[in-house]
Amino acid sequence: MIGTTTTAQDRLRLAKEAAREIGLLSDARKAQLLEAVAREIEARSDEIIAANAEDLDRGRDGGLSTGLLDRLSLDAPRVQALADAVRDVAELPDPVGRVLDERTLDNGIHLTKVAVPFGVVGSIYEARPNVTVDIAALALRSGNAVVLRGGSAALSSNAALIEAMRAALQSEGITPEAIQTVDDFGREGARALMRARGLVDVLVPRGSAQLIETVVTESSVPVIETGAGVVHIVLDESAPLEWAREIVVNAKAQRPSVCNAVETVLVHRGAADRLIAPVVDALQAAGVTVHGDDAVRDRANDVVAVTEEDYATEHMSLDLSMRVVDDLDEALAHIRRYSTQHTESIVTTDDRAAERFLAEVDSAVVMTNASTRFTDGGQFGFGAEVGISTQKLHARGPMGLPELTSTKWLARGAGQTRP
């Protein structure tokens, strides 16, 4: 059962105490714990789906957007995918204890810099029950306790998932207090988590730009900032039509509600006559509404007029902005103005344009000739991800196990004193 402590502060203290036990577990023991978690999620699949149905009903009644409803939804394959992701994390190398630097001083003291757990990882997110499992699994594998605030939209789903994971820990003789939730304390729980300096070592927000900004602004706990995804694809003058069409459609329509879905396509004027109509046709066939400038509307049918606001919007829906630019310089200027520094891609066969794009675009992930949907911890081989960091301190891009560790120096002497 989820703890019956009377305050959010009590749960934070319990997580801090549990972190000591989790931090000392061996590689094999942590992997064993995660296998138990995966089995428990599978065993409770029907219960988790039923709880999720309650959230979906409330979400529809409350006018939750199509994109958020998609992120919220769990069915049998998605629950199985959660369990599979836990097993993937269990199979990853243990990040704790890695030797990052080593030297012997002139006085004979031997120094070793090693990776160690943070201690307690907190996360505030919304309408994403998969994050509940991903972050808990990554935290445990990296020797951390975790405190979760998943928001009211996924209240029932998260409660069922956390109950399953805590039961798995208990069955393995490990304190279930290593996985905590403050969901049932509502906004007061989120506030306590943001102000838990000394109890929570790092806080990772995931969700809307507004949620992330609130956490960054109001938290006294160190925050790893994950950003909204105003993501761009540039179709260069040399872009092959087949690549352009397939990459853009995949990046927008494969799953439009996620942060690595493309929001704006910039088309080089030299390729506009060749690319715009077939790319727009393919997008529309996939159900996408294209918002285009005059140059796009002149070359394709049924295109909505784009607005300045569209260029700055993470739609999380089947909407996409498209603009014609005179050259790569103008494309780069557009990206500098509107990008959230998440992911950008260029489709080109011009090596000079590709290398310039890779060098000049200042985003967490910069691609050539690939769908932006590959910006993902699982796709990068991390098993799962804590989030996609758009900041530049500690971690940037998809964050996996190594990003949930800190470091410490071990100094081994033989009686040395400083003169």
- Both 210 and 245 in a single domain? no
Residue holding tokens 């935290």? 139
Rg (alpha carbons) of the chain, rounded to whole number: 23
Residue 224, token pair as written in the block? 């790893």
pLDDT band at 167 (very low <50, low <70, confident <90, very high): very high
Residue 255 pLDDT greater than 70, yes or no: yes
**pLDDT in the model for residue 135:** 93
Question: Are residues 178 and 69 both part of a single domain?
Answer: yes
Domain presence at residue 122: yes
Confirm whether 351 is domain-assigned: yes
DSSP string computed for 100-155: EEEEE-TTS-EEEEEEEE-SEEEEEESS-HHHHHHHHHHHHHTT-EEEEE--GGGH
The dihedral built from the CA positions of residue 68, 87, 402 and 194, taken in this order, carries a sign that is: positive
> Is 25 a member of any domain?
yes
Dihedrals phi, psi of 340, to nearest 5 degrees? -95, 10
Residues 105, 84 share a domain: yes
In this structure, the chain runs to a length of: 419
CATH code (residue 357): 3.40.309.10
Q: Given this model, what pLDDT does residue 108 score?
A: 95
Least confident of 5-19, 252-266, 374-388, 398-412: 374-388
Range from 57-71, 81-95, 148-162, 362-376 carrying the lowest mean pLDDT: 57-71
Contact between residue 153 and residue 69 where contact means Cβ atoms under 8 Å apart: no
Position 13, amino acid: R
Q: What's the mean pLDDT in 198-214?
A: 88
pLDDT grade, residue 333 (50/70/90)? very high
* 122 pLDDT more than 80: yes
Q: In angstroms, rounded to a whole number, what is the distance separating the alpha carbons of residues 330 and 312?
A: 16
pLDDT of residue 377: 74
Contacts 24+ apart (CB under 8 A), 352-357: 353/236, 353/238, 353/328, 356/328, 357/234, 357/328, 357/332
- The pLDDT of 315-337, averaged and rounded, is 96
Q: What is the mean pLDDT of residues 277-302?
A: 98
CA distance 76 to 2: 24
How is the beta sheet containing 110-117 ordered, strand by strand? 99-104, 110-117, 405-412
Domain with 332 in it: 231-374
Predicted local distance difference test score (pLDDT) of residue 383: 66
Which residue did the predictor score with more confidence, 151 or 178?
178
What's 99's domain CATH number?
Answer: 3.40.605.10
Q: What is the mean pLDDT of residues 255-264?
A: 92
Q: How many beta carbons lie within 10 A of that of residue 291, not counting itself?
A: 24
246 and 276 together in one domain: yes
- Burial, 105: exposed, middle or buried (Cβ in 10 Å; 0-12, 13-18, 19+)? exposed
Question: Is the residue at 389 inside a domain?
Answer: no
Residue type, 49: I
Check residue 236 and give its pLDDT.
98
The stretch 100-108 carries a mean pLDDT of 96
pLDDT of residue 1: 52
209 and 182 share one domain: yes
Identify whether residues 51 and 173 lie together within a single domain.
yes
Q: Are residues 256 and 326 in the same domain?
A: yes
Domain end marker among 226, 241, 273: 226
Domain stops at, among 205, 226, 247: 226
84 confidence band (pLDDT: 50, 70, 90) = very high
Q: Can you give the pTM of this predicted structure?
A: 0.79
Confidence band, pLDDT 50/70/90 cuts, at residue 3:
low
User: Last residue of a domain, which of 192, 226, 260?
Assistant: 226
Q: Which of 67-76, 224-233, 394-403 has the lowest mean pLDDT?
A: 394-403
**pLDDT value, residue 257:** 82
- Tell me whether residue 405 is in a domain: no
98-107, 220-229, 242-251: lowest mean pLDDT where? Answer: 220-229
Given a contact cutoff of 8 angstroms between Cβ atoms, the answer to whether 190 and 124 are in contact is yes
Predicted confidence band at 4 (pLDDT cuts at 50, 70, 90)? Answer: low
Give the amino acid at 44. R
Give the pair of three-digit tokens for residue 127. Answer: 């309408």
103: in domain: yes
Residues 139 and 281 in one domain: no
Q: Residue 32: pLDDT above 60?
A: yes
Domain count, the chain: 2
What is the Cα–Cα distance from 266 to 386, expressed in whole angstroms? 30
What's the pLDDT band for 75 if we cut at 50, 70, 90?
Answer: very high
* pLDDT score of 194: 96
What does the mean pLDDT of the chain come to?
Answer: 93
Same domain, 201 and 285: no
Counting residues of the chain whose pLDDT is more than 70, the rounded percentage is 98
Mean pLDDT over residues 345-351, rounded? 97
Q: Are residues 121 and 140 in the same domain?
A: yes
The predicted structure's pLDDT at residue 316: 85
Residue 344 — very low, low, confident or very high, per pLDDT cuts 50/70/90? very high
Q: Over the range 392-401, which residues count as b (16 or more CB within 10 Å of their CB) and which as e?
A: eeebbbbbbb
Co-location of 355 and 238 in the same domain: yes
Taking the chain, what is the end-to-end CA distance rounded to the nearest angstrom?
Answer: 57
Place of tokens 């000591």: 20
